[in-house]
Amino acid sequence: MSVRITAPVAGLNGTGVGGLQFENSIAETDNQAIIDYCIAQGYTVEPITDDGKPAGLDELTIAQLDELAAVEEIDLKGHKASKQTRVDAIEAARKAKAEQEQQDALDHTYVVTYKDAAGDEVKVDYIGRDVDQVREAFGSAEEYLGAEILTVDEKLTGEPTEQA
């Protein structure tokens, strides 16, 4: 199945991964290895019809829907009764993925527990994208202030919930 790949970088022109020729951030391929790589790197992948236009899910055959689900790593188990159940499952999975990506992009509050130069344990709230970013930000404080990070916990409902 041929797919249209849209790079996450706007205005990309030229040769990309696997020899893909991007024009205005869009390329086409049927090479499964390249498709898999692009999905893993956050590129948008859409099946295309014979006329070169992006295909709506309703326009795809059952075999194409199954292949698309495999490419996008969508489990169709329990959703193979009909073409429409496949379409519904793919749409639901795409919606859930988009919502998760949106949530993941939000900053989170972390509780950083550290030991200061005097040996006292201190807890502070810090806003960051992920535990690694928070640890990196506090890394210089460790060196500069003689502090030692003990834990970084994600704060979801007022209590630390995820030990880093």
| Same domain membership, residue 112 and residue 98 | no
pTM higher than 0.85, yes or no?
A: no
- Residue 84: per-residue pLDDT: 92
Count of domains for the chain:
2
For the stretch 126-161, what's the b/e string if a residue is b when 16 or more beta carbons lie within 10 angstroms of its beta carbon?
A: bebeebebbbeebeeeeeeeebebeebbbbeeeebe
| Same domain membership, residue 12 and residue 63 | yes
Owning domain of residue 119: 108-163
For the cut 50, the answer to whether the pLDDT of residue 143 exceeds it is: yes
